[in-house]
Amino acid sequence: MSNSDARTMFHVNASLFAAANLMRSYEETRYYLNGVYVEPCEQGGVLLVATDGHRLIVIRDENGFTPEPVIIQVDKGELKKFKPDSRATKQLVIEDISKFETIPASLRWIDEEDGQSITFDTLQVKRVNGTFPDWRRIMPRQFKPGASHQSFNADYIASFGKARTLIGEAFGFTGKQAEKGRVTFTATDHPRNPCLIGLPGYENIAFGVLMPMQGDMPSVPAWSGVQPMVEEPEEKQVEEIKQAA
């Protein structure tokens, strides 16, 4: 391989790419979100980032490589080929990432023992010519103790469960093994602030952010016989937490 080829070669784990792709936007006016943003990771490998403005996911592929930050778009029909295979790890490989618009790519099986690769399919992908927003700026940073009411889109919540399954499959888990597990939600002190999404077991691999929606405070029907919820002053909530600790 020539030095020129080495500088422009791109490869990522296909299953992790598919997991990130669940969160991308399909809105044409926000074309710069119409794909997965892949950037070099200072600790090695790459970060795969995708968002539609309502939710965001960041996944680290410690074996991936990109010479520069890029936005890669793959058609929905082609993503079916990215499903994990028990025989070997699948990689999405782009020989020359320097070009924009439609470029040829390949899917390869990577032998875990000797690192040899075998191309089993080819496809066309698109490098989006746009600037991906600074995703770190929207990360929730401050959390306060006490209850916080937030409403979320149910489909968006489910998408993190699907992403968790794909990530599990990327690391060799199958069936119920890949599907089991939790998704955690850490709310901030304000109902309009984003919520941090955790994937226990994969904390060092991926995390997410989910934007809340407008919604009413949940209530319990009178027929339940349960006392209705009453929002307490924040100071009282904090004091009760301290006493319980």
SS3 assignment, position 109: strand
- Give 180's DSSP letter: -
Question: What are the distances in angstroms from CA 224 to CA 216, 217, 218, 228, 232?
Answer: 19, 17, 14, 10, 22
Residues 188, 194 contacting (CB under 8 angstroms): yes
- Residue pLDDT, tens place only, 105-158: 999 988 766 667 889 999 999 999 999 999 998 887 666 555 466 788 999 999
User: Two tokens at 107?
Assistant: 């899917």
Write the CB contacts of 32 (distance below 8 Å, at least 6 apart in sequence): 71, 128, 130, 131, 132, 133
- Global model pTM greater than 0.85: no
* R_g of the chain, CA atoms, integer Å: 21
Residues 50, 32 contacting (CB under 8 angstroms): no
User: Two tokens at 159?
Assistant: 């998408």
What gap in Å lies between CA 206 and CA 219, rounded to an integer?
Answer: 33
Give the model's confidence band at 229: pLDDT under 50 very low, under 70 low, under 90 confident, else very high.
Answer: low
Range(s) of the chain covered by CATH 3.10.150.10: 3-131
SS3 assignment, position 210: strand
> Which pLDDT score, from 0 to 100, does residue 218 have?
64
Q: For domain 3-131, give the CATH superfamily.
A: DNA Polymerase III, subunit A, domain 2 (3.10.150.10)
- Residue pLDDT, tens place only, 42-90: 999 999 999 999 999 999 999 999 999 999 999 999 998 898 776 678 9
